[in-house]
């Protein structure tokens, strides 16, 4: 006889089949003080945005007209190539490239988990060239690795 799940029930999380959670009471949280939720960016995140605007994105046209978060900049292929060149010149890295087409998600390519690989232009140049070969009318965004030494300079 096979062991495993029965029916079409999905496990709520890995390993849940070994636990009897159906009779557990719901978790109740009571706060002693009002919870304040801030949607503002952290200081570090603001410093990263400022650095990118000043050293990487200057002179380029942001194509994000509201289809994504305002902090995410999108560029056409020509401008994004300039972004990648500037990233390489400054010794920054790219964690992932996310192209969109007509305000709709197209695809994403990411580097491996090793932080040092993201600073090598080989992977992100290849990914960009593959996107260009698929469609020349994409809008590109990326997630960036910025060394701490640049953030201290401002």
CATH of the domain at 104: 3.30.190
The structure tokens 């890995």 sit at 14
In a domain, 123, yes or no: yes
Tell me what pLDDT residue 133 has: 95
Domain extent, residue 108, equals 43-153
At 55, the pLDDT band (50, 70, 90 cuts) reads very high
* Residues 4, 7, 12, 18, CA torsion sign: negative
In a domain, 100, yes or no: yes
In a domain, 32, yes or no: no
- How many Å apart are CA 133 and CA 146, to the nearest integer? 28
Question: Model pTM?
Answer: 0.71
Q: How wide is the angle at C-alpha 55 spanned by C-alphas 51 and 61, nearest 5°?
A: 105
In a domain, 28, yes or no: no
Question: In total, how many domains does the chain have?
Answer: 1
Cβ-proximal residues to 130 (8 Å cutoff; 6+ apart), any chain: 109
In a domain, 3, yes or no: no
Tell me what pLDDT residue 113 has: 54
The residue length of the chain stands at 154
In a domain, 138, yes or no: yes
When the pLDDT of each residue in the chain is averaged and rounded to a whole number, the result is 79
């Amino acid at each position: 006889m096979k062991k495993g799940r029965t029916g079409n029930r999905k496990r709520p999380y890995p390993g849940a089949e070994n636990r009897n959670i159906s009779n557990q009471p719901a978790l109740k949280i009571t706060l002693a003080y009002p919870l304040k939720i801030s949607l503002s960016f952290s200081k570090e995140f603001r410093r990263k945005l400022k650095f990118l605007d000043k050293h990487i994105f200057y002179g380029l046209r942001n194509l994000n007209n509201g289809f994504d978060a305002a902090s995410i900049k999108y560029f056409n292929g020509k401008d994004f190539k300039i972004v990648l060149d500037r990233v390489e010149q400054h010794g920054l890295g790219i964690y992932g490239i996310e192209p969109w087409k007509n305000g709709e998600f197209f695809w994403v390519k990411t580097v491996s988990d090793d932080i040092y690989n993201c600073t090598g232009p080989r992977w992100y140049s290849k990914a960009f060239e593959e996107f260009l070969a698929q469609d020349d009318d994409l809008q590109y965004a990326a997630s960036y690795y910025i060394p701490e030494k640049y953030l201290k300079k401002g």
